[in-house]
Amino acid sequence: MLNKRFVATCGMVAWFAVSAWAGPIKDPAAQIDAGSFSHSFSGLGSFSPCGDLDPITDQCTGLIGLYNDTGGFLTSITLDTTINVGLDQTLIDSSFTCNSDPFFLQCGITYTSSSGALSISFFGVLPPDMAAVDGQDGIPPLLPGCIDHPDAPGCNVVGHFTFDFLSLEGLNGWTDGNTTLFPGGETPEFAPPVFTDTATPEPGTSALLAAGLFSLALLSRRNYSSRSSRS
């Protein structure tokens, strides 16, 4: 969060420099947080950073609760959308922020001026032996047996996460109607997320695999020795 706060501070300084022509910009932020009650990640499809609607006020929350139903660890996630073309990279750098904790090591934002394509990528994971202590090993799948009731007690922690589009101040810069960043000031739509999921073998499976490879190596060496003694 310190990195995000530093970036947000830099963005505020840059905002003063461009405010005369760009107008006020509420930090369009993106991060991935822990979650509990949620929707299927593989079935998300296109979505709005408006997020889930508050059941009482029917207003945008800026949060989308999800669960990982891919069966493997999500080791990278990229969100793609389109904003105005021809924007200066300095404005992009000062306006958009992202945060990779607690699941990933890094996040990055890329913008193509000619097409207006904007991508937010979350990536980089620690090896399993380090991640057990430090986290940042990607987003794990649901616990076994939880796919039919992912939000039930005991199933609603592991494998759950949230797309969070709120800034440090709790504002949603994606929905503020800014015409400098967004065509017509409309809230952009994100395409279905692009992701990589990596299967992690269970310890028992890894041990069996290692034992099998060791046995094959011994057998191969024995056959080689036998052929050598006969020649």
pLDDT at residue 134, as a whole number: 54
SS3 category, 53: strand
Catalogue the E-assigned strands of the chain: 29-34, 39-40, 63-67, 73-82, 97-99, 106-112, 117-123, 160-164, 194-198
Whether residue 53 has pLDDT greater than 60:
yes
Residues 20-45 have pLDDT tens digits of 334 456 789 999 999 988 999 999 99
Residues 129-186 have pLDDT tens digits of 665 555 788 999 999 999 999 999 999 989 999 999 999 999 999 999 999 999 999 9
pLDDT at residue 140, as a whole number: 93
Residues 194-208 have pLDDT tens digits of 999 987 544 444 443
Q: Are 103 and 75 in contact (CB under 8 A)?
A: no
pLDDT at residue 7, as a whole number: 37
pLDDT at residue 37, as a whole number: 86
* Mean local confidence (pLDDT), 64-80: 97
pLDDT at residue 158, as a whole number: 93
pLDDT at residue 193, as a whole number: 98
Average confidence score pLDDT of the chain: 81
Q: Are 81 and 191 in contact (CB under 8 A)?
A: yes
pLDDT bin (cut points 50, 70, 90) of residue 217 is very low
pLDDT at residue 131, as a whole number: 53
Whether residue 10 has pLDDT greater than 50:
no
Model confidence pTM above 0.85: no
pLDDT bin (cut points 50, 70, 90) of residue 73 is very high
pLDDT at residue 200, as a whole number: 58
pLDDT bin (cut points 50, 70, 90) of residue 52 is very high
Distance CA 44, CA 77 (A): 13
Residues 99-139 have pLDDT tens digits of 999 999 999 999 999 999 999 999 999 887 665 555 788 99
Burial 42-81, CB ≥16 within 10 A → b, else e? beeeebebbbbeeeeeeebbbbbbbbbbbebbbbbbbbeb
pLDDT bin (cut points 50, 70, 90) of residue 219 is very low
